[in-house]
Amino acid sequence: MVAVFSQPLLSLHGISKRFGAVQALDNIELDIRAGEVVALVGNTGAGKSTLVKVIAGVAPADEGIVRWEGRTVQLRRPNHARTLGITAVYQDLALCDHLDVVENLYLGCEIRRFGLLDEVEMDRRTRDLLGTLSISLPDPRVPAAALSRAQRQTVAICRSLLSEPRLLLLDEPTVALNFEQSTQVLDLVERLRDRGVGILLISHNMGDVKAVADRVAILRLGRNNGFFYVNAVSHEQIISSVTGATDNAVAHRTELSEEEL
């Protein structure tokens, strides 16, 4: 686990976002450190996906301050986030079933040599990446349509790693996966954390949260409703904060008391 007092990679202060009459996010605070997995938890409509889009530059915040390594930055477009080293993997994965693994990884960022696609180099780099992360996949030239859901999720995550991100945003990466498939994806999350990547993990699965997260940030009705260290909180405390049985102030005091230990 990352030291409690290390400088945050990303800090959000007073982030608010409105869509018409709907206040999707209201005065959100959040820190994420390098080499740390922060689970973002909350009921449907709590604002989790909106917050990911704010960080990814897809839906810029209306109010608030974003700091990257202590420096105030603007996340007005996805390329602003990518330039800093922030990459998101959404639930739809956005893979092309008729393309193979290599083609999906390099779609839109193909390697060329003398004006022609360098298939050999893209194949080599794909195999090197999979090997470095200890990822077991069938032949990288197998079409995406032939992969399992867990393998497709892995390919989507690997595609995001080509730009060597420092912060990875994962929106429900284990949804619709069985236990064995979920374990494969969570193992990859742990390996990325060990490599120093900061990870924001959206999940409804408390088992996944307890398995890989260092901290949990709770959203309720678009607001913060608690921050907890995973090794110092029970399943019941997290659920109470999600449902509103534990209010924001109590949840914040819980984490602060842990920091003082």
pLDDT digits (tens, 9 = 90+) for 56-68: 999 999 999 999 9
What CA–CA distance (Å, rounded) separates 38 from 21? Answer: 30
Q: Are 28 and 70 in contact (CB under 8 A)?
A: no
Q: What digits encode the pLDDT tens for the residues 141-165?
A: 999 999 888 888 889 888 888 888 9
What is the CATH superfamily name and number for domain 10-95+166-259?
P-loop containing nucleotide triphosphate hydrolases (3.40.50.300)
Query: Which pLDDT band, with edges at 50, 70 and 90, does 131 fall under?
Result: confident
Task: Tell me the whole-structure pTM to 2 decimals.
Answer: 0.85
Integer Cα distance of 47 and 125 in angstroms: 37
Give per-residue pLDDT as tens, 205-222. 999 999 999 999 999 999
Residue type present at position 144: A
Q: What is the residue extent of each domain of the chain?
A: 10-95+166-259
Give all strands of the β-sheet with 71-73 in edge-to-edge order.
22-32, 10-19, 63-68, 71-73
φ, ψ of residue 186 in degrees (nearest 5): -65, -35
Structure tokens at 171: 């929106």
Q: How confident is the model at residue 138 (pLDDT cuts 50, 70, 90)?
A: confident
pLDDT band at residue 252 using 50, 70 and 90 as cut-offs: low
